[in-house]
Structures are given as structure tokens and as C-alpha cells.
Amino acid sequence: MRRTAVAVALLAFAAAASAQLQFPYSGCTKALSKSKYSVKPVTTFPGTNTICWTVQYSNPQCANPAEECCNTDLHKLQLDVKPSCATGFKATATVNGQGTPAPTIYRPPNAGSDQYVLSIPGLGLNGPSANGASICLTLTGGSCMSLAALTPSPVWSVALWDDAHQCCPVCATWAAIAGPTVAVDDLNFFGDAGNCATGKDVISELFAPYLEDGTIIAGTDSITCNGNKITACATTFSKEKGAKMATELEALGPDALVTAVFGFNGECPLSLAGYSVSVSSNNDDCGIFMAGPACAPPTTPFPFCVCNKAQGATPFYLDDAVAVNTAANEYCLSVSTAAAAPGAGKCGSATTMKKAEFYFNYDMRWKLTGITIKYANGQTATRSQSWGPVGDNTLKVSDLNWKTSDVKNLKPKICFTFKSGTSLYDFSMDSSYVWASLFNPDQTCCPTFPAQ
């Protein structure tokens, strides 16, 4: 049995309490509860010396909708910075990819001698359309070339000003980038290192709630793939929040946590057939370990004849994912070619695929409106319904006679179109899968595959 593991390492980051913030050193209205604007508590770093904040616009955030600052625009972002960063400072900024006036560092009129701000004006954001806007700062000169170098404490503080300079809701969170990590590794979805990138999205979804609430504050953009190993590093707000995250993940239980990581609910997906899954931590402080399900390959009595049904018996294979055209109510299954499995014997030397047979419900045949063969070169062919003996529920797509070279070059798909209200899964004799057998000319070899 192949083994897939997800290791979650939650390491500690001690956080010291900070003094009450006076930023942005003005008499403007600072409370978030009196504004609809904020930025996410996690920054991203899409390029060298580039820092991005994501704007959030939320009606519920404003405690009293009649408040003046609940009905303003977003003109300017200010970041609390060290006075020493002003010397030689150079930078550019964008909002949603469009350039803004040049950012500057200066001391506000009412600020103390050691109180400076970095200002990005001309944002031009207003109302609900501001939600999700990306404000990016690229540092090009000076002594402070990172977020951590700019900020006067481990906390970065941002003020979001309106054009009237009356409202300046302040958002603050931790700026540290180095140190503790959250790591996920040894994740292999399909036994194919080329699909490693798929796991990036899955891991991002797993940690999304902890990005939203500020538990994870930096670094999740550094998810990397190396062979069948995925590593995701991040920085947590504090040791306590990291421990709380570990406890919550563990409390999900094996089924829910495996579902979150591997993207399935209930029955194992075909992509994990033959794997066992587990979640574990390589950090003693977390101590997470739980076993998930062992995903046994599905079985079927189909086809009802004597032939070699083993997958890999011949060089012809069926993709396990069904492509769906919802508008046309069309479902397509792709045939591919690869080397036969070791020990396939006589079937392994097959060079021609004569036909395909599908385990479909004969009593619903009137709901099938078309069978189309589609090729990568744009050509198509059609087939009429042809069924096996009554009771076998076997639909035949015959006279294909595809060589391995044909399949390699033309990448054929067998497509089924149904009347409105009927799906391929209604038509299948198996409520979970669609089954197809790919026959060689003498019909002694019939590798049989499930698809979803």
C-alpha cells in the first residue's frame, strides 16, 4: 500500500505586548468600528522588496452606519515607519496594478520627532468595489528594504485615510517574517510528482481561516513543490495562537481534516485509490497524529465476459475524470496510452483498441440522445446505440480500431449527450462511478476503469 502523509509542524513564536498605538499622529477618527475599510492582517510579498496589502470593505464592521466615516472613500494608505528610513527612501506603488503618485516618508505636523509615516496617496477607491483591492509598495532605495526594516516595532500599523482627511481607521498586526513556521510536507495526490502543484491550492484552503483571523501572519506564499513533497512555511502571530490552531486542527478529527487536505468527502476519490492517508506533526509541541481512511480501489462485476480486466493489461487507459459540458448536458471520457503494466503478458503487447463498453442502464436508453467521438484535431464521428444482451446493461461503442499512435496523437474522447434532467451518473449502473472496458481485437483483454 502506498502511503500519503501530511505533516503539520506548528512551531512557536513568542510575542511581546506592544504599547497603545498613537499612529497616525493625528486627530482623525481611528476606530475600525467607525469605518467600513480595513486591510487583511496578513501581507503578501509577490516580488523582491515588494509588500502588498489587501483591502477589505465590510458593512457589518461599521457599528453605526450613520457615522460620517462609514460613508467615505479610501484615498491614502499610511504605514508607521522608523525615522531613519526617510534618508534615501525611494519607492513606487500600485493599486490593482495601476501606478499611484510616488510614496513618501515624512513627519506629520503634529507628530513627535521620532514619529514618521510612509504615505501612498491617490488610491481612488470607494465603496464596495474597494473590497479585494491590492495595494503594493515596491522599495527601490534607502536603508529600509523590507516591511520588518520599515516598522518601528514587530507590529506594522496601517491607516486608511479618506480624501477629506477626517477618517483614518487603523489596522495593526505583526510584521515578523522569519522564525516559526507551519509546514506541510510529503503530500502526493496521484502518485505523480507532476501533480504536486495541485496540492498547493488544497493547503492554501486548509490554512485560509487562520490567515483571515490573523493566526498566520506571513509566509504562506512560500508553498513549494519538490518531487512528491510539498512544504508550506508560515509565521504565526504567537506561540499561543499556533498552539490553538493545532488544537483546532486536531479537533476536526480524521475524516474532516483529511477531507480538508485531500478535497474529498465520504468515499475516497479515484485519484487516491490504493493510498492510505494520515495527518501528523513533526513538532513535539503540537503532537498531532491521526490516521485517515485507506482508499481501496473500487471494484465492479463488469464486464460480464471472460477477459483480462486488470488496469494496465494493455497500453490503453481511461482518464478517471469526466469532462462535463453543462450547457450541452454532455459528458466526455478521455482515452490515453502508456506502457502496459509489468507482467501483463500477451495483453501487454496489444497495439489496437477495438471498442469500448460501458456499464449503463439499458432501461434508460431513451434518455441518451447522442454518442460522439471527438479528436484533438477537431474531427468528430458519431455512433448509434448498440447494446449487449438484455440484462447485461452494456452499451457498446464499437469499430474504433485505434492504434496506440492514433490515441497518442489524436487524444480521443468518447462523449455522451442526454436529455435535460438526466446526467451520466443517472445513466450509470454504479451510483458512484462510470465504468468502461477497453477491448483488444480478440476480446481477451478488457482493462476496466472507473471514472468520476
pLDDT of the residue at 2: 31
d(CA 410, CA 320): 18
Name residues whose C-beta falls within 8 Å of residue 356's C-beta, 6 or more positions apart in sequence.
Answer: 318, 335, 396, 397, 400, 414, 436, 437, 438, 439
d(CA 153, CA 174): 9
Among candidate residues 316, 365, 359, 313, the one with its CA nearest the CA of residue 336: 316
Please say whether the dihedral angle defined by the alpha carbons of residues 170, 175, 181 and 183, taken in this order, is positive or negative: positive
Amino acid at 61: Q
How does DSSP assign 339-393, residue by residue?
PPPTT-GGGGG--EE-EEEEEB-GGGGGGEEEEEEE-TTS-EEEE---B-STTS-
CB atoms within 10 A of CB 351: 14
CB atoms within 10 A of CB 211: 17
d(CA 221, CA 46): 8
Q: What is the SS3 assignment for 260?
A: helix
pLDDT of the residue at 12: 25
pLDDT of the residue at 414: 97
d(CA 202, CA 216): 16
pLDDT of the residue at 155: 64
Per-domain residue ranges for the chain?
Answer: 37-165, 168-295, 316-451
d(CA 334, CA 210): 39
Q: What is the SS3 assignment for 111?
A: coil
d(CA 322, CA 428): 13
Per-residue pLDDT of the chain (452 residues; tens, 9 = 90+): 333 233 333 222 222 222 334 688 888 888 888 899 988 766 777 777 888 888 988 888 888 888 899 999 999 999 999 999 999 999 999 999 999 999 999 998 888 888 999 999 999 999 999 998 999 999 999 999 888 889 887 567 899 999 999 999 887 654 433 223 333 323 222 223 334 444 555 566 667 777 777 777 665 555 655 544 455 566 666 667 777 776 776 676 665 555 555 555 556 666 666 665 555 554 444 444 555 556 677 889 999 999 999 999 999 999 888 999 989 999 999 999 999 888 888 999 999 999 999 999 999 999 999 999 999 999 999 999 999 998 899 999 999 999 999 999 999 999 999 999 999 989 999 988 899 999 999 999 999 999 98
Cell of 335: 482515452
Please say whether the dihedral angle defined by the alpha carbons of residues 362, 368, 374 and 380, taken in this order, is positive or negative: positive
User: Which residues on adjacent β-strands are paired with residue 401?
Assistant: none
Give the CATH number of domain 168-295. 3.30.70
d(CA 94, CA 19): 31
Cell of 225: 513543490
Among candidate residues 411, 399, 445, the one with its CA nearest the CA of residue 338: 411
Q: Phi and psi of 237, rounded to 5°?
A: -60, -40
Q: Could you say which DSSP state residue 359 is in?
A: E
Name residues whose C-beta falls within 8 Å of residue 110's C-beta, 6 or more positions apart in sequence.
Answer: 25, 26, 27
Q: H/E element holding 3?
A: strand 2-10
Through-space distance between the first and last CA atoms of the chain, rounded to whole angstroms: 22
d(CA 321, CA 449): 11
d(CA 74, CA 130): 8
Query: Cis ω on the peptide bond leading into residue 24 (within 30° of 0)?
Result: yes
What's the whole-model pTM score?
Answer: 0.49
Rounded to 10 deg, the angle between the 253-262 and 239-251 helix axes is 100
User: Which residues on adjacent β-strands are paired with residue 380?
Assistant: 374
d(CA 433, CA 301): 13
d(CA 436, CA 111): 74
Give the side-chain half-sphere CA count within 13 A for 5: 13
CATH of 316-451, one of 1.10.10, 1.10.3470, 1.10.260, 2.60.40: 2.60.40
Pairing label, strands 413-418, 330-337: antiparallel
Q: Edge-to-edge strand order for the sheet containing 116-120? A: 104-106, 116-120, 76-81, 155-161, 170-174
pLDDT of the residue at 48: 75
